[in-house]
Every structure is written in structure tokens, then in C-alpha cells.
Amino acid sequence: MTELILALDFGGTKHTAGLAARGEHTWRGRRQMFSPPGADADLDLAAMLSMGQALLSGQQPAAVGVSFGGPVEYSTGVVRLSHHVPGWENKPLRRIIADAFGAPAFVDNDANLGAIGEHRFGAGQGYDSLLYITVSTGVGGGWVLNGRPWRGHDSMAGEFGHTVVDPNGPPCVCGGRGCVERLAAGPMIARRAREWLSAEPERDTALRRLVKHDLAAIDAQAVAQAAARGDEMAWEALAASARALGQAIGNAANLVNPQRFVLGGGVTKSGARYWDAIRASARSAAMPEVHFDIVPAHLGDDAPLWGAVALVEIETGA
Ligand SMILES: [Zn+2]
């Protein structure tokens, strides 16, 4: 009998639900919606539950895997908090989902699930150890070690984004300074480029033309586009991000010695030169005896959703 697995991904701005059958690698159904402006946890939950019910259209899932865009206490499935949406603090998400669908539920954070998803279905297939890193508006990470997710003592392992690469660097949301997230995430790339262009108002660059002289319109994608057109100032804003990321990867390589680093998220679509800079920086930070490779994620935005499927398969013994 086909066992259906419902996968739910609560993102910062959009929510996605997918329906898969155990052992299959394609969606039987997939739906996505943007989180309404001013949403809180209860609104998002109600929207997600109805999206899940619509996908199931009366069928009973064997289990539900849930990705959440923030820290979750894994053993209880209780959300610690969301940086994006109010009202999530201490929500017993695992119990709520299990009750709503009448099926066992498993809840983990999106980066851990990205790691599990890439390991089972994507760029980590056949690898025993990897660190999955996502670089977008923030920087997250998740470990697979000995073929299993590694969550750490407080379910806080893989907080790669808050490893420090510059102790004298700018303050970070976590209370630290010079974290890799603060130096390498998309908003920082945009901010760096904006500051440099503001400081040289007469300088005509590809980036300035690209945003039609509206510096507020600069985002990391525009910086990458301008860099690809030979804009050296834009490239330097991107390269500073790549160097910080590579340095943190080199540190992680020395500490844990995984086979592979799998990088996803919007910022990692910044071109071959960006990837070369990450690899060079990581290589120079790691010891010569420590070997690894750094590759793009295969599953794109669906990595946490596939990770939710993989989590169910792991936890229910397939
Ligand atoms: Zn930090």
C-alpha cells in the first residue's frame, strides 16, 4: 500500500506544501503561498493546514514532516522563536500538526532539513558527511555526519552563520560581532555596494546604471549582475562575502573534516568567479591535509521540503 508523506515548509515569506509517496522522488502535488502581510503564527498555521488538507483531498498521510524557518527543539518539536513572524515562541508545532492530520509529525529547522534533503535526494547522495549551507537573507547550516543528521546538545548544531570570522567586525543580530552571516549574507553585499557608491557619487559604474541611479534598489542579485558585467566595485562587494564564507568553511573543515560542503540559497547563484573565490578562501583557511569539495545544492528552494520527506523516512525506519 502506498504510504503518503505530507511535507510542510514554513518559510519567512512563503509557505510550501508537498505530497510524496514513500520511496518516490517526485511530488504528487505541491502548493505554495506567500505569507500575508502582517501575518502571525496562528494565521500562518491556519493557512498551512488548509493547504495541506487541500493537497491530501481526503487521503490519510502516514506521517507529516515539517520544516520551520527558525530554531526548533527537536525532541519535543517545540518552536523556540521566529525572527520573521510574531507569535511562534514556544508553539508546540509537532503536536499541533500531529493532531491536525491524525498522523505522526516530525519538525526540524529548515537548514537541518536542507542538509537531510540534499543528502538523501540531492548533491549529498552517497556522501557520509556534509555541511549544507544556505546563503540568502541570512546564513544557515545543517550537518549530516555518519549518514545521519547531527543536531547537537541543544538542537543548535550547524549555526554556521554565527561562527566568527572577524572579531572586530560589525555587530550581528545574535549579539556577536563579525559573524559570517553579518559579512556574507545578501543584505550585507547590497549594503556594502551601496555605501561604496554613496561615498563616490561621481563614479559611473555598471551597478549604478543597473539600478537607474537609485541606490536603495541595490540588492545582492544586482551586485552579482554588475560584477558579471565587469564592474570591479560590485565584484569587490561580492568577493568580500565570498572570502568570509570561505574562511568559515575552512574553519569548519578543520574542525569536523566533512567530505563535502553543499551550498544553496539565492546568493550562491552569483557566478563562477564568486564560487572560485569561496573555494580559494576555504582552501587557504584549511590545513593542507584536510580534503573536501564545495558544490552547489541540487534541490534549490525545495531542499527543506524534500528534507521533511527524508526526515519522515529516517524516523519511521525506511
Ligand atoms: Zn551572529
pLDDT tens for 102-129 read 999 999 999 999 999 999 999 999 999 9
Distance 256 CA to ligand 1 centre (A): 20
Tens of pLDDT, residue by residue over 277-306, are 999 999 999 999 999 999 999 999 899 999
Distance 102 CA to ligand 1 centre (A): 38
Residue 297 near residue 116, CB atoms below 8 Å: no
Residue 216 near residue 148, CB atoms below 8 Å: no
| Residues 112, 45 share a domain | yes
The domain in which residue 246 lies consists of: 126-297
| Residues 311, 241 share a domain | no
At residue 200, the 3 state secondary structure works out as coil
| Residues 22, 151 share a domain | no
Residue 149, pLDDT > 90, answer: yes
DSSP state of 3: P
| Residues 261, 175 share a domain | yes
Distance 179 CA to ligand 1 centre (A): 5
| Residues 186, 255 share a domain | yes
CATH number, domain containing residue 52: 3.30.420.40
The number of domains in the chain is 2
Confidence of residue 220 (pLDDT cuts 50, 70, 90): very high
Tens of pLDDT, residue by residue over 254-274, are 999 999 999 999 999 999 999
Residue 318, pLDDT > 70, answer: no
Asked, for residue 121, whether it belongs to a domain, the answer is no
Distance 181 CA to ligand 1 centre (A): 6
| Residues 277, 155 share a domain | yes
Distance 290 CA to ligand 1 centre (A): 26
Residue-level pLDDT at 63:
98
pTM: 0.93
Contacts of 159 (CB under 8 A, 6+ apart): 140, 141
Confidence of residue 3 (pLDDT cuts 50, 70, 90): very high
Distance 160 CA to ligand 1 centre (A): 9
Asked, for residue 261, whether it belongs to a domain, the answer is yes
